[in-house]
Every structure is written in structure tokens, then in C-alpha cells.
Amino acid sequence: MRILMIAPPGGGKGTQGALIAAHFDIPCIVVGEKLRDHVARQTELGQTVQSHLERGELVPDEIVMDLVREGYIAAKSAGGECVVDGVPRTLAQARAMYVIGVDLKMTANIALHLAADDKEVTRRLLARAVVERRADDTEDVIRQRLELYHQVTHPILTWYAERGILVSVDAMRPASRVGREIIVALAAMRPLVDYVPEHLRQPVDLTGLDAAFGLADTDNATQG
Ligand code: AP5
């Protein structure tokens, strides 16, 4: 199972990606973290991308794709499954990932969309800023990251829906509850994903699940 995490900043890619990786004991390729690590160590790459990260802009595709390829190669030698947090963010990156996937026989079979609104993710990122002080967790930069998400990342969901590998989850609920729903869905899909021919794949929309079971109104931030 190879899962691409797609969500707005603060949508929970890191939180849920780590949970999925730990639960299924598969590697997690966290591109933002790799970039921040280069910045912290002031490597040549770190110096190149630092201003992009600080301004909430996308770093050049070739840098991102090199990191993805490197991560995929490591994941392949660890069994071939993985979670990818943070890529793709544009249609060009989605296509480039597909090419790398075909090359390594590791095309993604799930694009996991965590749906959350701007107000909620802004609240989360400003709360994180107090604790972690990430350079890009300021109001202005969060606004810029969200704008980019809506302009260039959100549209790629259509591409994954058309390929039948999109799974959408309501990520407005407490993290533990979102995580449980994801793990249950992935555990059911995992034995099948490699064997369903592309033309038979269907997108899965779980965002209305709570409403269907009359649970939507019972959610609040204090629930586990
Ligand atoms: P990246 O590090 O990927 O940042 P991001 O996309 O802005 O996402 P975040 O890490 O802020 O949020 P998240 O969705 O992972 O949520 P998290 O789980 O952390 O990228 C940083 C930068 O690197 C980019 O701006 C760009 O410059 C560059 N970059 C990266 N990938 C690139 C690419 N493909 N192309 C070009 N450039 C690229 O949660 C956030 C907070 O919310 C946490 O405090 C968490 O505890 C909390 N939280 C999570 N879920 C919940 C919940 N359900 N309820 C309440 N709180 C929650």
C-alpha cells in the first residue's frame, strides 16, 4: 500500500501520516521535515530552500522529486509500502510522482485527502506556533500557504478521483477519531489495493459518514 497524504497546511498530514506508518509498520516520507532538516543544518540545499519555506512558497520541483525518489528507493528496499506526506502539491508533481512510481514499480494506490476548513487549520497552526515556533506558522505565511493549497493543490484531487484512488476523510474532528476511521478504512483496503485493476477502481468518500450515523452534531474539540 502506497499512500499520498493530501491536505491543507494543518489538515493533519503529519499527525495521521505518522499514525498510519506506525500502525502498518511502513516508512513515512516527510518531505517538509527533510527540507526543514536541511535548513537547520544549513546544507547547500537548505540554503537554497530556506526563503521558500519562510515565505510559505513551494520549493522547486526537481528538489522535491529528488527527495521523493530517494525516499521511494529506501521504501522499496523496506518492502515497497510507504506513506508520503507533503507531495504532490501540484498537478506537475502528481504526474512526476506517477513517472517515478512506474519506474520503480511503486505507483500510489491511495491518495488520502484530509478535508478541513481554513478557519480550523489556521487555529491549529497558530496554536502550534506557540509551542514549536515553526518559521512558517505566522498569520501572514499561513494565509499564503492556504492560498497556494486552494490554487494548486486542491485541484489535483480531481485527478486522483478520476484514477479511482482518492479516499476522502472528514478531518475536522479530533485527531484520534480521524485516525481511527483512517486505520479501519486502510486495514480493509490494504489486502486488495495491489490487485484491483485501474479501470475498476472507485474513489471512496467517507466525509459524510458521521452524518449518516447521526453523529455529526456530537463532535467537539474535546472528544477523543
Ligand atoms: P510541510 O511541512 O508539509 O507543511 P504544510 O503542508 O504546511 O503542513 P503542516 O506540517 O503545517 O500541517 P500538516 O497537514 O502536516 O498537519 P499536522 O499533522 O502537522 O511543508 C512545509 C513547506 O515545505 C511548504 O510550505 C513548502 O515551502 C515546502 N514543501 C513541502 N512539500 C513541498 C512540495 N511537495 N513542493 C514544494 N514545496 C514543498 O498538524 C498541524 C497541527 O494541528 C499540529 O499541532 C497537530 O497536533 C494539530 N492537529 C492535527 N490534526 C488535528 C485534529 N484533527 N484536531 C486538532 N488538532 C490537530
Distance 97 CA to ligand 1 centre (A): 19
The residues, ordered by sequence, that sit 6+ positions from 34 with a Cβ below 8 Å of its Cβ are 67
Q: How far is the CA of 195 from the centre of ligand 1 (A)?
A: 31
- Interatomic CA distance for residues 140 and 10, integer angstroms: 15
What integer pLDDT is reported at residue 216 of this predicted model? 65
Give the rounded percent of residues in the chain with a pLDDT score beyond 90: 83
pLDDT tens digits for 130-168? 999 889 999 999 999 999 999 999 999 999 999 999 999
pTM assigned to the model: 0.93
CA gyration radius for the chain?
17
**Residue having the nearest C-alpha atom to atom 6 of ligand 1:** 9
The answer to whether residue 41 scores a pLDDT higher than 70 is yes
Nearest atom within ligand 1 for CA of residue 172: 53
Mean pLDDT calculated for residue range 107-118: 96
Residue 217: the pLDDT is 56
Q: Which residue puts its alpha carbon closest to atom 57 of ligand 1?
A: 175
Whether the predicted pLDDT of 12 surpasses 60: yes
Residue 222 has a pLDDT of: 41
